[in-house]
A and B are shown apart, each in its own frame.
Chain A
Amino acid sequence: MRDARLEIRIGGTGGQGLILSAKMLADALCAAGQRVAQSQTYEPTSRGGYCNSDLVVSDREVDFPLTTALDCLVLLDRMAVKPSWLLLKRGALVIADTRLCPELPGGDYRVHHLPLTRSAIELGSERVANIVALGALAALSAVCERKALEQAVRADTPKSFLDLNMDALAAGYGLAARATGDAPRAALPSCDRG
């Protein structure tokens, strides 16, 4: 059985825009002809409670739409570590915010600690940390074309936030490039749809 599933989680707290960034990525993948299922777990407290937004990507219709073995995990808060860590596949990509998620358990994963929220603050608003994270995730996972993602972010952003969001996305790509020393991106095993 060829398992064509790719599973991605963006975890953090309510109010960080995790669902929005997952929807943007889903839109970019959908535009490229991929089948996507995007789900979320959140708490009744809409701000500050644990929240994650998950994507299952496939080249055929997704059967079970929830994640069970993560290929990629983005952590924007330490609260998201525990519910996600046991779901990681061996060799999975982990991107964690240096400020809000400084410590991680060990394991055989490709871990990148990146200053996602600090970059967002430097750009003018911590609220765009989700978009910085999205850029870093797309760059390090090679899950979709940059152009398609830029288009999706543009389409889902109100005018007043457009410049800030596009700068945030570019900052995410920049952080990823510095983290890998501009080395060619290694595609995840299940991203290879050749």
Chain B
Amino acid sequence: MNAVDKALLPRLALRLISGNHACALAAVAAGCRFFAGYPITPSSEIAERLSRLLPEVDGVFVQMEDEIASIAAVIGASMGGVKALTATSGPGFSLKQENIGYAAGAEIPCVIVNVMRGGPSTGMPTRPAQGDIMQSRWGSHGDYPIIVLAPASVREIYSETLRAFDLAETCRTPVVLLYDQVIAQLTETVELVAAEGIRAERKWASGAREAYQPYASDGGAIPAMSRPGAGYRVHTTGLNHAENGFPTQDPETVARNLGRLLGKFEHHRDAIDSWQAIGCEDAEVVIVAIGISARAATRAIELARAGGLRLGLFRPITLWPFPEDALRAAAKHARAVLVPEMNAGQLSLEVERILGSKRVHAIHRYNGEPITPAEIAARAAAVLKEKAT
């Protein structure tokens, strides 16, 4: 156990903490030593906590002048060799998109928290929504890979924050932690486990300096970065680049390098993919949901089963890349699929795409009021009745 874990240990017993607080604790435990952000409801508690925690571990906390500068500083810190985090909500997440694309394209590890609140624009700052599901995947322009994790409880925000830093390093990519206002500001009794053994360190270049190619695949499709000052020749750019890092528009070179970038997660799907399936084996209706809607579904399953209606839940914990095979397997025997989500229809589109011929029903809500367990149970019963007639 290192000094950081020791310092955190008294805080790791059974205790009441909020989702955002858990995120801050996990970031420090994962080795994050740089935070740059701009306050925004309902994510500000992460910055508030880290402003106290980071100085304790010789880390750096910067309140930046705006959202764009925050993500830019995080990318710079990471290029300097430090695990870095920023946290925001809808409007700030929109502003950060160009630089998120830069981090994806230049392959700079970093973690971005987006706490979902009502939208569009400034929307409803203190009310929950799940309207950034598609934005988290497609928000920046062009073709790029990104990992998005969607925790549904305070305990899971802790464990997924640890995993986010891990995946950012092993896959050399920005990772988005996506959760709604309810989970962010919810205070729950949790038993947190120490972060031992799961921290990934950055793969640094070694060997001959002359032969170093910053974007050359080593077979695992994730090139090693060079430690600043180690003497390797590096060029980093948002332009399409060749293996040596310098810009190119040569079609063959672009296709080869962008192809590697877009396919690089396939070598790591075992570590990336994560989901929870409850009662799907015998479920008549499989519910697919994330965040607070998934928590409602968990209770809906219990309510419905007590009344003789067999419901199941498939919950993607890694939202992007979507665990498609796992969803197909979970929904295989279901008579219907139901997607409750706090938006006008996003997750349901992806579920429809994956399940093809299966009819996908949905509850779409965007008024700031979470969907309740009773509503999900009632809708599932209605869906089956509809099918029977």
Contact = CB atoms under 8 A, between A and B. Distances in A.
Interface of A: 1, 23, 26-27, 30, 34-44, 62-66, 68
Interface residues of B, number: 24
| Residue among A34, A38, A39, A64 with the highest chain B CB neighbour number at 10 A | A64
B16 interface: yes
B229 to A, nearest CB: 46
Contact of B295 (A35, A40, A64): A64
Given A30-B16, A64-B299, A36 B185 contact: no
22 contacts: A26-B16, A27-B16, A30-B15, A30-B189, A36-B16, A36-B187, A36-B189, A37-B189, A38-B187, A39-B187, A42-B126, A43-B126, A44-B125, A62-B188, A63-B295, A63-B299, A64-B299, A65-B182, A65-B186, A65-B188, A66-B370, A68-B374
A38 B295 contact: no
Contacts of B296: 64, 66
A26 B295 contact: no
Contacts of B187: 23, 26, 36-39
Given A1-B306, A68-B374, 20 more contacts: A1-B303, A23-B16, A26-B16, A30-B16, A30-B189, A35-B189, A36-B16, A36-B187, A37-B189, A39-B185, A39-B186, A39-B187, A44-B125, A44-B126, A63-B299, A65-B182, A65-B292, A66-B292, A66-B370, A66-B372
B298 interface: yes
Contact of B186 (A27, A35, A37, A44): A37
Contacts of A38: 16, 186-188
Indicate the member of A1, A38, A42, A63 with the most B CB atoms within 10 Å: A63
Interface of B: 14-16, 41, 125-126, 182, 185-189, 292, 295-296, 298-299, 302-303, 306, 370, 372-374
In the complex, the 5 A-B pairs of residues with the closest C-beta atoms, listed nearest first: A64-B299, A38-B187, A1-B306, A63-B299, A63-B298
Given A37-B186, A39-B182, A64 B16 contact: no
Given A26-B16, A30-B189, A37-B188, A63 B302 contact: yes
A65 B295 contact: yes
A188 B41 CA distance: 37
A109 to B, nearest CB: 21
A37 B373 CA distance: 16
A1 B374 CA distance: 15
Nearest to A22: B187
A56 to B, nearest CB: 9
Contacts of B185: 39-40
Contacts of B374: 68
A43 B187 CA distance: 18
